[in-house]
Structure 1
Amino acid sequence: MRTLFRSLNNLGITYCRLGQYLKAIDFYKQAIDVTESIQGELKVEELKTSYASQEVDLYEGIINLLWNQKDLEAAFNYVERARAKAFLDQLANEKIDIRAGADSKLLEREQDLKAEINALSQQLITLRNRPKNQWDYDRIAETKKNRTALRKKYQDLLVQLKVQNPETASLKTVEVASLPEIQGWLNADTTLVEYFVTDERTLAFIITRNSFHTVPLNVTRQQLTEELTLFQDFADLDEHHPLELKNLHDWLIVPLQPHLNTTTITIVPHSILHYLPFAALTDGKQYLSDNYALLSLPSASILRYLPDKGKSTTSSLLALGDPTIPGLSPLTHAQNEVETIAQLFKTKALVGKAATESALRSRATQSGIIHLAVHGEYNENNPLFSAIRLLEDTQHDGSLEVHEVYGLDLTNTNLVVLSACQTNIGELSRGDEVVGLTRAFLYAGTPTIIASLWNVDDAATGLLMKQFYSHWQGGMNKAEALQQAQKDLRETYPHPYFWAAFSLTGDAGKRE
């Protein structure tokens, strides 16, 4: 199969160079059919993601050719097929218990690895608890290196458990949604904008219930990366409309404006755009979020699997805040934040020593809303070990990691808010699979997550969250409530650093 794929792909490349574009498209299509057939046989998402990352150039080639041939609906179909396909397949399948019936030696090895990783984490906390001028940097580096190696072994063991589970063989792969299907899922007041970033240009597909438009954008992957990196230096907090955000607005929004005629925009970002705070894009006077409620999705086809859980603003709230963790700086305003929000729902927040991992695990299944004002930890080397930091207890180590979130049952949960540092960050594969907390919570069953793109100011965050819940309870949907809360916060904290870090992924919900 791989030999056939390579032959078809090479023929596509050859005909493209000869300027025989229709023949090139035909061979690229055949090559993609073969590669997707191979990918369909890989039942484990880690293997699918790794495989898909190798074929990105093929998708980029056919998408550019179809666009140039004005076969724009077909180009859009391949854009959907090029992104987040492993995650789409995950959502389409029933969850399986990878440990059920597993080899006892593998399960023992798993427990041993967890214990060893936890011991090294405790060592790091102890080493860092000393005054900084007494730190043993060599020992800290060695301990971190050893923990990274053990985490890689643990990751490999999880793949082994999945491969050996007999239920894995029955997992299905699904087709991406057609354009008419996607249009049928959109509300009348929503426009979906799906971007596709390439080395030479960026393509935009603009979809409403009744229309489909495409716009080529004269901006490259490198330009987008450079501008976003400059913005995230936050060099001048007195400049409320930074030049970088104006440039990004000119590139990504201005050419689309004739087609942006609804109150809500759903953005399907691609590549570096996953890290862009779209709400803060500005023309120098107004931000994008002044005129539109915004939300994002991993792909348009995901709409098929977002559960509609109704309004749920009166449902039970589980709020945990500011766990007292040795070695981590206290979140000064987090306790006040969760206690204020808990009062809105006539319940009691779990703070300090009560904010344990076991408390979250035991109560999450019955909670309509989960709000976590805690530290988040992005793990660049092992994204499955990015974590929410809670207090350890007799049953759990306090580090709720991405691979553990996948195992939670949040089918009764309408909203998860990660009011913490860098909770919306994940490792981005070339196949546009973001391994991180946001997608893990979506997989666990919640339709909506609010999370942050950078380390946030916790005083500003507390105020933002109070306003968000007040507006949601007042009858707005979740996207509108976040939009209004961000406007409110700008009166006190005008720079986007303070108000634009949080974004909403998933379902905006209904108005009351």
Structure 2
Amino acid sequence: GNVYLKIAQTKKALSYYQKALICLIPDFNHTNYQINPDLNQVDLKKKLIEVFSQKSLALQKLYLEENKSKETADLCMATAELGIELIDRLRKEFGADTDKQFLLAQSYQLFEVAIEMAFESKQFEKAFQLSEQSKAIVLYQAIKNKQAERLASTDETSLERLYQIRYDLQTCSAKIRDERDTKKLNELRDRKFKLNRKYENLIDELEKNSDFKKIKEELPSLSIADIQTQVLKSNQAFVEYFVGKNDVYAFYFLPNATDLQCKKIPWTDSLQKAAKEINSNIYQKENTAYIKNARLLYKELLATIFTEGIPKRLLLIPDDVLGFVPFNALLTKDIPSKQLKNFKAYPYLAKNTIITQGFSATIQWEMQKKAKVSDGQVLAYAPGFLDPKTLQEAAVLRSQFMNLSHNTEEVGYVLKNFKGKAICDEKATKKHFIHHAHNAKIIHIASHAKVNRLHPDLSYIAFSNLEDTTTAAVIMYIEEIYNISLNAAMIVLSACETSIGDLIPGEGMISLARAFIYAGAKSIVTSLWKVTDRSSCQIMGYFYTNLKNKQDKDVALNKALIRYINKAPDQNRAHPKYWAAFIIIGNTDMLTISSFPLALIVITLLFFGVFIFLKRRKRKLRHV
């Protein structure tokens, strides 16, 4: 079928795709390509997804060949939706997240065909729902899974036991992967077997709760009205992108509008090149290329949508390589030749628009919900690192981290505005984080991080190696973060490229930021590339001052970036390399955390109450 499709013999290709369905489905024998099987009679097979995907693609081509026949359009949509329904059923059968991600990546073409057909028939809301269905579904399920576990657990102790076993399983698996000694390997495998039995028993107990499975398998049901009333803030616009093979679909609301609109943007070679290169252009200070790409991306992705002016506040859901684009640094106007080195005066989008980003509108909705967060205060980590030159050769291979000159100063700015604890130098260990982070309301980490794009689960954030240089004690991998439980209202990852990771079609970037959302964070401030700790320190100081002044998180970050640009000591330090990496994802409501410990407030009020009581009693005794 693929051969005939390639040489434009579309109906011949369709006949072979139909034969493939007959081969894969025992009770299906219809040779007419206009007839699709009933999924209730189908054994779930991954190979079927490819057949439905190719058949829908062939029908899409036939639709164009037949002068856009409505009958063919309906059959194409029905075939694509059948494939998407099969994906959903298969997804429930898969246990590992990596298997689900692979499944979505393989089936992305189905969503693209379905969205195109919905767009052609001007069913914009349906096209948007398909776009949402294709995005970050594994992350969404992880969030729902944790909600189900919390609901079904009888107490906090049983929930903590579940998370601990899950973490121990992950740690054990990592040790098995690295162990070479046969005896130790067998011991680890035996331990993993026992941990699996304990974990299965705990899950069996949770499944006795009737709501557990229902919540765990609940599919997104976000309506347009939900986005307008529960996700967007007043005067905030919305745009979500779906990147196809030939076109980008932009779904958007104007501020306070009621109608969803959709625009198809040609995914030209020049636009793709700009999206892929602008990150590097900024970091390498390739200013001519940066200006060219920043203008092109602005014009094609935003100006063509918001024709009457860019909104003051925007929730933006990128897709595919658009996740690498620093939208804050896009340029709204051309740069006069005399102003090319005046970086403070550049017309950055950040100067006009406050931007929040998200993995999907549904994930944003979940993060916006007023779920219970920790009543704790701030934990601010500033790990210290040994000079690699002082380490033995074997240790250097594990821990090549230079000491960060300004990270202790940075956490000082945090605690100047919010009461909490600074965990610095040798105390800022991975062990401390694992044992204390779940009680914090705000977590700030000023450290090193590293992205592994070939093996995203091996991306990590680093903690202090001053007392222990072993990998297990210093490095926290993404897969470890997945298996901890956090209740933080906000996590700030003031480290290198924490928002960048491997791109998986249908799931987005597998990044450290995503891992912390997976673990339970309600909002994340993260970075798209390596930022000097000097610049990061200044920006974070402004950011926390703004938060203390009761500004919403997105407003606080935007104003911090603008203040950094305006106060930069010279034009060089105002370059977007030093500030445009920072983005905010998730719930942007202002923080309600007290600047003083709750216990201190309670004790003070009690003392004052007792004092008034005794004073009044003394007066009464005098009268007597």
TM tier, smaller = 0.7 to 0.9
Which residue does 2:277 correspond to in 1? 229
Task: Report the identity percentage.
Answer: 23
Q: Verify: 1:430 aligned to 2:505, yes or no.
A: yes
| Aligned CA-pair RMSD | 3.7
Q: Distance in 2 between matches of 1:381 and 1:241?
A: 27
Kept after mapping to 2: 8 A contact 1:5/1:35: yes
Which residue does 1:54 correspond to in 2? 106
Which residue does 2:77 correspond to in 1? 25
Which residue does 1:397 correspond to in 2? 473
Which residue does 1:504 correspond to in 2? 584
Following superposition, the deviation at residue 277 of structure 1 comes to 0.7
Q: Distance in 1 between matches of 2:274 and 2:48?
A: 39
Alignment deviations for residues 123-171 of structure 1 (CA, whole Å, 9 cap, x no partner): xxxxxxxxxxxxxxxxxxxxxxxxxxx9xx99xx99x959983639844
Q: Distance in 1 between matches of 2:242 and 2:174?
A: 40
Aligned ranges 1:178-257 → 2 under 5 Å: 178-185=223-230, 186-207=232-253, 210-220=258-268, 223-234=271-282, 235-236=284-285, 242-257=291-306
DSSP 3-state at the match of 2:426:
helix
Q: Which amino acid aligns with 2:355?
A: L
Q: Distance in 2 between matches of 1:259 and 1:30?
A: 40
Which residue does 1:165 correspond to in 2? 200
Kept after mapping to 2: 8 A contact 1:240/1:496: no
Q: Distance in 2 between matches of 1:248 and 1:328?
A: 35
Q: Distance in 1 between matches of 2:590 and 2:308?
A: 24
CA gap of 1:8–1:115, structure 2 versus 1, over 3 A, is: closer
CA gap of 1:79–1:163, structure 2 versus 1, over 3 A, is: farther
Q: Which amino acid aligns with 1:16?
A: Q
Q: Distance in 2 between matches of 1:297 and 1:264?
A: 14
Alignment deviations for residues 400-423 of structure 1 (CA, whole Å, 9 cap, x no partner): 111121222221x11101111111
Which residue does 2:621 correspond to in 1? none
Q: Distance in 2 between matches of 1:109 and 1:211?
A: 46
CA gap of 1:364–1:101, structure 2 versus 1, over 3 A, is: closer
Q: Verify: 1:370 aligned to 2:443, yes or no.
A: yes
Following superposition, the deviation at residue 51 of structure 1 comes to 0.9
Kept after mapping to 2: 8 A contact 1:203/1:214: yes
Which residue does 1:127 correspond to in 2? none
DSSP 3-state at the match of 2:554:
helix
Structure with a larger share of its residues in helix: 2
Q: Distance in 2 between matches of 1:9 and 1:489?
A: 49
Alignment deviations for residues 243-301 of structure 1 (CA, whole Å, 9 cap, x no partner): 22111111111112237665321111100011111111112352211122111111111
Aligned ranges 1:72-221 → 2 under 5 Å: 72-94=124-146, 111=172, 113-114=174-175, 117=178, 165=200, 167=203, 170=213, 171-185=216-230, 186-207=232-253, 210-220=258-268
Which residue does 2:606 correspond to in 1? none
Kept after mapping to 1: 8 A contact 2:56/2:110: no
Q: Distance in 2 between matches of 1:484 and 1:100?
A: 41
CA gap of 1:465–1:400, structure 2 versus 1, over 3 A, is: same
Following superposition, the deviation at residue 455 of structure 1 comes to 1.0
Q: Which amino acid aligns with 1:217?
A: I
Q: Distance in 2 between matches of 1:434 and 1:330?
A: 28
DSSP 3-state at the match of 1:258:
coil
Q: Distance in 1 between matches of 2:160 and 2:411?
A: 35
Which residue does 2:417 correspond to in 1? 344
Q: Which amino acid aligns with 2:549?
A: G
Q: Distance in 2 between matches of 1:192 and 1:356?
A: 40
Which residue does 1:380 correspond to in 2? 453
Q: Which runs of 5+ in 1 are unaligned?
A: 121-149
Alignment deviations for residues 217-264 of structure 1 (CA, whole Å, 9 cap, x no partner): 233377324453255144437779722211111111111223766532
CA gap of 1:164–1:353, structure 2 versus 1, over 3 A, is: closer
Residue from 426, 429, 452 that aligns with 1:356: 429
Q: Verify: 1:302 aligned to 2:351, yes or no.
A: no
Following superposition, the deviation at residue 9 of structure 1 comes to 4.2
CA gap of 1:6–1:358, structure 2 versus 1, over 3 A, is: closer
CA gap of 1:328–1:69, structure 2 versus 1, over 3 A, is: same
TM-score, scaled relative to structure 1: 0.82
Q: Verify: 1:318 aligned to 2:379, yes or no.
A: yes
Residue from 465, 475, 480 that aligns with 2:540: 465
Alignment deviations for residues 299-324 of structure 1 (CA, whole Å, 9 cap, x no partner): 11113321556999996211111422
Q: Which moved more, 1:322-331 or 1:332-341?
A: 322-331
CA gap of 1:118–1:260, structure 2 versus 1, over 3 A, is: farther
Q: Distance in 1 between matches of 2:302 and 2:198?
A: 44
DSSP 3-state at the match of 2:89:
helix
Kept after mapping to 2: 8 A contact 1:101/1:165: no
Q: Which amino acid aligns with 2:323?
A: H
Q: Distance in 2 between matches of 1:289 and 1:367?
A: 30
What count of residue pairs does the alignment treat as equivalent?
476
Following superposition, the deviation at residue 71 of structure 1 comes to 1.4
Which residue does 1:12 correspond to in 2? 56
Structure number, greater radius of gyration: 2
Kept after mapping to 1: 8 A contact 2:383/2:429: no
CA gap of 1:315–1:22, structure 2 versus 1, over 3 A, is: same
TM-score, scaled relative to structure 2: 0.69
Q: Distance in 1 between matches of 2:309 and 2:247?
A: 21
Q: Distance in 1 between matches of 2:542 and 2:558?
A: 10
Kept after mapping to 2: 8 A contact 1:98/1:162: no
Q: Which moved more, 1:464-473 or 1:297-306?
A: 297-306
Kept after mapping to 2: 8 A contact 1:98/1:165: no
Q: Distance in 2 between matches of 1:264 and 1:43?
A: 39
Q: Which runs of 5+ in 2 are unaligned?
A: 1-43, 64-71, 150-158, 208-212, 335-345, 389-399, 593-624
Q: Distance in 2 between matches of 1:447 and 1:103?
A: 24
CA gap of 1:347–1:223, structure 2 versus 1, over 3 A, is: same
